[in-house]
Chain A
Amino acid sequence: MAAAIETEHLTKDFPVGFWRPRPYRALDDLTLQIEAGEVFGFLGPNGAGKSTTLKLLMQLLFATRGTARILGRPVGDVSVRRRIGFLAENPYFYDYLTAEELLSYFAKLFGYRGADVTTRVSRVLDDAGLGAERRKRLRQFSKGMLQRVGLAQALINDPDVLFLDEPMSGLDPLGRRRVRDQILGLRARGCTVFFSSHILSDAEALCSRVAIVVRGRMVASGKLTDILSFGLKGWELVVANVTDEVRAELEKRARQVTPLAHGRFMVDLSPDADPPRLMHELGGRGIEVVSLNPVRDTLEDYFVQTVAAAAPRPTGGV
């Protein structure tokens, strides 16, 4: 069976400069293979080439070099488009149409007719959590609501492969929760999801695999846990009811003790501190443990390290 998405040496140069334009390489030699049913996270800092990749896969851009296939067929093929969904970054639709009209317009473009259109439209709008607003014109919609409409339109045809460009941006915590649940639901259904993000927690919660791009080049791909050591950098312990004696004891064993409000203290422990034993020892002295959290590497840390290490972006030219 063909891979859901595959790219070979995918490269895109943009001409830069009005007078004597020179090529600027936005994406350099990307080779990827994503199997059906995977939820794939395409991660990288802003400007890394994530949107460029997605637009190449949607054939909103034409590749300078290399190929891309979806479901075994060339991108841009109309038969491919019937089976995919796409949510652009910060989506924008027509000001003077209502959400319902927009969705039924798109549904009809997929060839659905009659009652099928109505049921599909109301189902995806329900899933996106849009209530009575669906009869309002889109110009009155907030950014977050447009994002929901965007996800709804991407799902109107029950796609086999779903492409989402920064699906969480502009959403409140509740909205993010909802999108995560929707993606997990799609994964359960066997839908392949390819999404870009610059936020680690999204990827951690959803992805079976990720690729990381920095400055147009893929720097790593595979399971997130494999890529990132997720090395334990330490522990963060918050305690209350601390006597002076105990505090002195803590200061001896911790890297740092910071007083917080209401007599609490934040204790910064080294990775090898063995907090359970410490808590057991201190428990007898009447102190109260408020919270204990491991401190790990974040994707942001990783980006910062990689970007710092990466050579300057290669300029194009073939």
Chain B
Amino acid sequence: MRAILLVAGAAFKESVRDRVPYSMVIFAVLMMAASYLISQLTAGQDLKIIKDLGLAALSIFGLLIAVFIGIGLVSKEVEKKSVFALLTKPVTRPQFILGKYLGLVMTLIVNLAVMTVAYYLVLYYMDVMATPALRAGWPAPALDPRLLVAIVLIVAELALVTAVALLFSTFSSPLLSALLTLGLWVAGHFNNDLRRFENVLDVPALAWIARGLYYVLPNLAPFNVKAEVVYGVPVAASHVGYTLLYALVYISVLLTAATATFRRRDFK
């Protein structure tokens, strides 16, 4: 366990000092600029738009962090051979994989926490500037704590995407891993359409394939409760619970597979 935490700590330190901070700065600036511009341009709907934009930016920047740093942590290390020194220390390969993963999830959480603070600051500013009449027209308060539910699910989704990236990076090159991960992310969000395909497709075999893919591919659509939260529609606690449980189980699947690949691998 100590070995896992040490690897995680080093991975965290390494990735936090990487370019990640810049993306956070870009994110914060983008948010501020957007909220200012939009509050100049629109009337009434501006709070909703800022909430939407903020959550979208949060998940997209989080995705970039997850994919690019996630892949860098293992496949870059293999490519540049820094893995040689580490794997000849008293660290097993499964410990290495789990440690790297934990380190990256820590990086993700820290980054998303910073973004969340920036997000709430903008919303606080909106709240302060709003007239009571304007405020009455909002479907949900500006500083709605329910937004955190959406953010927690975004973190869980990104933790899953990171595990996907890690799995790919145990056997393919960094660029290919990044592309595959992004591809699977897109597929994961279209996954619900796969389920609905059954209603549209006439061919039973294809419908079965669609259903199989729906269950086996990472299913990311349930993590997306952004619309509910922005409209102030309640999100069932059981849904959040099952989705977090799903994330946990599916991440275990991915990490087991990643470990299985990595522990038998030759490092030329």
Contact = CB atoms under 8 A, between A and B. Distances in A.
A and B touch in the complex (CB under 8 A): yes
Given A94-B14, A109-B3, A61 B82 contact: no
A97 B88 contact: no
A230 interface: no
Contact of B85 (A61, A96, A153): A153
A96 B14 contact: yes
Interface of A: 14, 55, 58, 60-62, 78, 81-82, 84, 86, 88, 90-97, 101, 105-106, 108-111, 137, 150, 153
Contacts of A58: 84, 87-88
A111 B10 CA distance: 15
A106 B89 CA distance: 7
A83 to B, nearest CB: 9
B95 to A, nearest CB: 10
A90 B267 CA distance: 15
Interface string B1-39: 011001001100110011000000000000000000000
A105 B82 CA distance: 14
A82 B90 contact: yes
Contacts, number: 76
A61 B267 contact: yes
A256 B250 CA distance: 79
B202 interface: no
A150 B85 contact: yes
Contact of B14 (A86, A88, A97, A110): A97
26 contacts: A14-B266, A14-B268, A55-B268, A60-B87, A60-B266, A61-B266, A62-B266, A81-B88, A81-B91, A86-B84, A86-B88, A88-B84, A91-B81, A92-B81, A92-B82, A93-B85, A96-B18, A97-B10, A97-B13, A105-B9, A106-B86, A109-B3, A109-B89, A111-B2, A137-B17, A150-B85
Nearest to A108: B6
A251 B85 CA distance: 58
A106 B264 contact: no
Residue from B17, B88, B90, B264 with most neighbouring chain A CB atoms (10 Å): B88
B92 interface: yes
A91 B84 contact: yes
B10 A84 contact: no
A262 to B, nearest CB: 49
Contacts of B14: 94-97
Contacts of A84: 88
A90 B264 CA distance: 24
Contact of A105 (B10, B17, B81): B10
B84 A60 contact: yes
Nearest to A15: B266
Nearest to A86: B88
B267 A110 contact: no
A61 B88 CA distance: 12
A109 B91 contact: yes
A188 B153 CA distance: 60
Interface string B61-90: 000000000000000000011101111111
A101 B13 contact: yes
B90 A78 contact: yes
Contacts of B82: 92-94
Contacts of A61: 266-268
A291 B211 CA distance: 87
A253 B91 CA distance: 66
Contact of B80 (A62, A92, A96, A108): A92
Contacts of A92: 80-82
A108 B86 CA distance: 12
A213 to B, nearest CB: 17
Contacts of B264: 62
A105 B266 contact: no
A58 B268 CA distance: 12
Given A60-B84, A91-B84, A96-B18, A110 B89 contact: yes
Given A94-B82, A96-B18, A60 B10 contact: no
B88 A105 contact: no
Contact of A110 (B81, B86, B90, B92): B90
Contacts of A105: 6, 9-10
A110 B89 CA distance: 7
B13 A109 contact: no
Contacts of B17: 96-97, 137
A60 B89 CA distance: 12
A59 to B, nearest CB: 8
Given A86-B84, A88-B84, 13 more contacts: A55-B84, A60-B87, A60-B266, A81-B91, A82-B90, A90-B81, A92-B80, A92-B82, A93-B82, A105-B10, A109-B89, A111-B90, A153-B85
A82 B89 CA distance: 7
A95 B267 CA distance: 20
B13 A78 contact: no
A150 B267 CA distance: 18
B85 A60 contact: no
B266 to A, nearest CB: 5
A229 B215 CA distance: 71
